[in-house]
Amino acid sequence: MQPRIFIVVMFGLCILSGCEQKKRPDGMPALFPCSITVTQKDQPLEGALVRLMPESGSFEWTIGGKSDASGVAKITTHGEYAGAPAGTFKVLVSKIEKQPSAYEQPKDNMSDEWKEWFAKSANEKLPTFRYVKAEFDDAKKTSHSITITKGKNNAAFDVGEPIKEEVK
């Protein structure tokens, strides 16, 4: 009786601690931990989209992440598997945002106020702005690259002067 209780308790602890891994898709290569720090004029850049594109050949899985308040993007493959495959990649960085609505969004999503807000904000013609020079989001123009190898991979890239240009 004691061994069964032990096994049940260990299984429960295993699930709670996150040792149950989701099976990766067939054909996905081994992935290695990777984080990329993005700065703009030596200051952390929050909300930047960081993507890795193979320098040669092609790759069927998307690789990238979004930078946090400290400018760090934890790289995932296919949007949910931590890390990146081995290889040399161009590092593409972009930050494009739509100007926020002039109307304050209600807190309760199911209220009549929400319906009114949605109707007003849906008709707004809000501009979209680019906050990182377009060259950093072009595999043919960017000078940023990273080679992913077995083990932890960390890199830092600066995307130059801050900009705010309207995307047409």
Query: Is 16 a residue whose pLDDT tops 50?
Result: no
Lowest mean pLDDT of 3-7, 95-99, 123-127, name the range. Answer: 3-7
Query: Is 129 a residue whose pLDDT tops 60?
Result: yes
Phi and psi torsions of 124, nearest 5° = -70, 140
How far is it, in rounded angstroms, from Cα 34 to Cα 23?
20
Residue 28, CA distances (Å) to 78, 138, 141 in order: 9, 25, 28
Q: Residues 28-95+132-162: name the CATH superfamily.
A: Immunoglobulins (2.60.40.10)
> Is residue 117 within a helix (H) or strand (E), and if so which, with residue range?
helix 112-122
As a whole-number percent, the residues of the chain with pLDDT over 70 amount to 86
Question: Would you list the domain boundaries of the chain?
Answer: 28-95+132-162, 97-130
| Residue pair 87/70 in contact by the 8 Å Cβ criterion | no
* Tens of pLDDT, residues 79-115: 999 999 999 999 999 999 988 878 787 877 677 887 8
